[in-house]
């Protein structure tokens, strides 16, 4: 496996910054298309969307320990993903990464 290009790594890292960063990465990867950028954009988009979804749920059902669990989980998975992007490796985020690759096929 060859190392990803600098442009592909840039797209991958930008995707992890915020949900807006993931949307920017999607548009950056339209032309030319980088497999590495697409992989990490799907991972990051799923993480950000999941975090927002669980945040909306917890805003209605408030429990302080649930919020702590959400932030610890999100931050841990985020670190795992962005570290892989910075290292130029395609590693699925634990537990949900394979699902993100199947669910977000519209990210090309």
pLDDT tens for each residue of 13-43: 999 999 999 999 999 999 889 999 999 999 9
Q: For residues 26, 39, 70 and 50, what is the CA-based torsion angle, rounded to 10 degrees? A: 50
Structural domain contains residue 15: yes
Structural domain contains residue 69: yes
* Per-residue DSSP letter, 96: T
- Number of structural domains in the chain: 1
Q: What pLDDT score does 41 carry? A: 97
Range list of H helices, 29-105: 35-60, 64-87, 97-103
Structural domain contains residue 70: yes
| Confidence (pTM) | 0.91
């Amino acid at each position: 496996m060859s190392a990803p290009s600098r442009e592909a790594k840039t797209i991958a890292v930008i995707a992890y910054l915020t949900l807006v960063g993931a949307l920017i990465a999607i548009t950056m990867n339209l032309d030319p298309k980088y497999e590495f950028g697409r992989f990490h954009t799907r991972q990051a988009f799923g993480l950000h969307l999941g975090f927002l979804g669980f945040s909306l749920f917890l805003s209605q059902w408030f429990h302080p320990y649930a919020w702590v669990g959400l932030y610890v989980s999100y931050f841990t998975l985020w670190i795992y993903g962005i570290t892989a992007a910075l290292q130029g490796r395609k590693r699925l985020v634990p537990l949900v990464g394979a699902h993100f690759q199947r669910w977000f096929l519209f990210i090309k």
